[in-house]
Structure 1
Amino acid sequence: MNVKTAVTRIVRNALFAAPILLAPALTGVVLQDSALTKYATTGVAFAQDDKPKNTQKTRKTPALRENVYKKLAEIQVFADAGDWNGALKELNDVKEDSGKWNGYELAQLNNYYGFVYYSLERYAEALRAYERVVSNPDDIPVGLETATLYTMAQLYFIQEDYPKAIEVLTRWMEASPIVGADAYVLRGQAYYSLNNFNKALPDINWAVNDYESKGKVPKENWFALQRAIYYEKGDNKKVVQILEKLVKHYPKASYWRQLGGMYGAVNRERDQLHALEAAYLMGAVTNDKELLNIAYLFLGEEVPYKAAKIIDKGIKDKRIEPTSKNLETLAAALRMAQEVKESLPVMERAAAKSDTGDLYARLAGIYLDNDMFDKAIDSGEVALKRKGIKREDQLQIVLGMSHVNKKQYDSAIKAFKKAAEDKRSAKFARQWIQYAESEREREKQLAL
């Protein structure tokens, strides 16, 4: 089986980024004293090292009157207690008296509706409320507008309305004095969800590069999104680079496993082996195909002992099926590792499970090499009965040599003559016939 192809399949199933879930920045007003009520808390948190991209705009907005403040304060009591149904009932009662409220006061009322609906997980209604908040931006402070837009973008994302999430988030980015890396990641995730990889990539790259330029480690799910986009674009070298960062900063077994598969995709077989071995030691490689792939890689790097250990443990753990082929591979690895005694019972099991006599023929040769002549003859005879032998001429040579070593010259000559019927072994077989005949004659002379 093609190792690179098989392991790449594993990676393809695991490379997709998990959805980046950001809790919406809720814009509920926390009422304190009347001097502060004309400014809404934004609820949007920015990193300390985020820098403004432009000067904060200001607006002259209508005032929040004392009687309106008191009504909103009553709603705040329910919100502080987490009684969202009570808060919603109070909102509906207050709304009946809002006919003469100014634009800013109505925006604050709708802001509360959005906050409460979100807390009740009624996201569609929350969005409609927030849309009313920003419907007349000249009536509200810039801070309230930008915070509401950011919240709306995240709610659209939760609703899986990615085009609208991108539209609103872009509007927020253009209006906000500070745009952090999280916003670029959120928009990149939305583009990714729409399979628009060409637009998703600049956003996630901006976020990752921004952090790395400041000596900070990007978040794990940022790397995951970046990796997934490059994978979709077929840039395997970039995927490898990102996975190398992941195993450095977030050393999980699954990343080592994926990195091993991607090393194979870019023809870095030795690195592939090291990465997959790390994943194996961390317990991330468990199914038979993956385990056998690692074993084959070890065999390719001429490390047969490790290959044998992996297959043997896989069989004992019931993760690798003890088929004739798998047992044959294990036996071959043990022989290559000079563990001949251990390989013999394994090869015997492999031959017994085989449907043809070919493995018995090969087993006869192994017995001959280890001076186990009786077993070589027995295995050879079983092989002939089962048939399906690839090179019967070679088996007849093995049988003949085994009989010679037992001084059974007539049987040996008979086997060599059969071998000589195949032109590939004819010359060698005739030499052995001459030797067997001479030995038979010599034994006769000694017996006189």
Structure 2
Amino acid sequence: MSTQAAQHAPGIESSDGGVAEPARLPRAALLVMALVGFLLIATETMPAGLLPQIAAGMSISEGLAGQFVTAYALGTVIAAIPAVALTRGMRRKPVFLVAVLGFLAATGITALSGNVALSLGARFAAGAFSGLIWGITAGYARRITAPEYAGRALAIASLGTPIGLAVGTPFGSWLGTTLNWRWSFGALTILTLITVVLALALIPDAPGQAATSQMSLLRVLRLPGVAVILAVIVAWMLAHNTVYTYISAYLRSSDLQLSVDVALVTFGVAALVGIGITGAVIDRTLRPLVLASIGLFIVAGVVFVVGQGSLVTVVVAIVLWGLAFGGAAAQLQTAISIASGANADVANSMLGVAFNLAIFGAGILGAVVLSIFDGVVLPVVMVALAVAALAIAVVGRRTAFPMKP
């Protein structure tokens, strides 16, 4: 291939050994990354809707079946940062493919295993590979995209999260309830295998991080803006997941004729609109977008509180909630990638850990709140934590969430 041709091919090395200029917006590659994100989210959250079926199928208690979720999250928290740090100098496509193949194997074992210890080990491994994928995806997407479209690229690559929450998790729960819970994991295994083929064909390669620019984990954490963004993530995601995890308790306490499935699908559709808005403006106005998203999130929480007895009002709150949250992943990944520069992969692995710590913490916080109050108090917690996130974002505006990436 000539040098001139190489320079028009995304992520392909030119004849002088350098890396060609990235494509302006490689949509096919980014959509494959979004599909991977969809599979990660669906696989992580689906067991929560199948606990009785898993418990009965494996002759264990529902409490032990619940550790399918815990083991996955624990794998992500423990493995994400060291895995990303160890692989950051390697070329991106081989690392990405190995991680997806590892995730494929772990999910397949979960679908077939009849031994609870092996199943929990597979869930831990799936979480570990998931942490590596989440850690490198943002930086990988930015490397294969022209700089002026980096934010939009992350918005496209992040599409899998709201779709997974809106469609993947409910469908997996329905499939597992209608047939057998193993069918749900089997379907995810097949989809992951198809995704590996698509990744091989459609995602271009990109270089790893140069050794001369690699920083220690502590130095990355100390980079201006990184700690601020991580603090916003923990507060905002704790607010979100406390309500998302226990939305059934809120709906039950509000005595509304609204099923959890319908509520989550409504949330997911609104979240898709939110990520569309994010993709359209993120490359020009990151800071106002983040502040507006958290602000709208707070408004949604307030509407949940004041409109708890009204079906229409609660649906409006769910829509506002989805709109506010839909672009959160892309916004936060963009912000931390800008703040960390060449060390974006390591910083994004910290972002993944922060997300999962918030999920873990929300499970505990929500349980404590519900042991004392009923579900209508959950949006109060949502508002309080989101206000804290907004305050941190405003105070840290000099180093985090710049006006123009």
The bucket for the TM-score relative to the shorter chain is: under 0.3
Q: Which structure has the larger Rg?
A: 1
Q: TM-score, normalised by structure 2?
A: 0.19
Q: TM-score, normalised by structure 1?
A: 0.18
Higher RCO (C-alpha under 8 Å, 6+ residues apart): 2
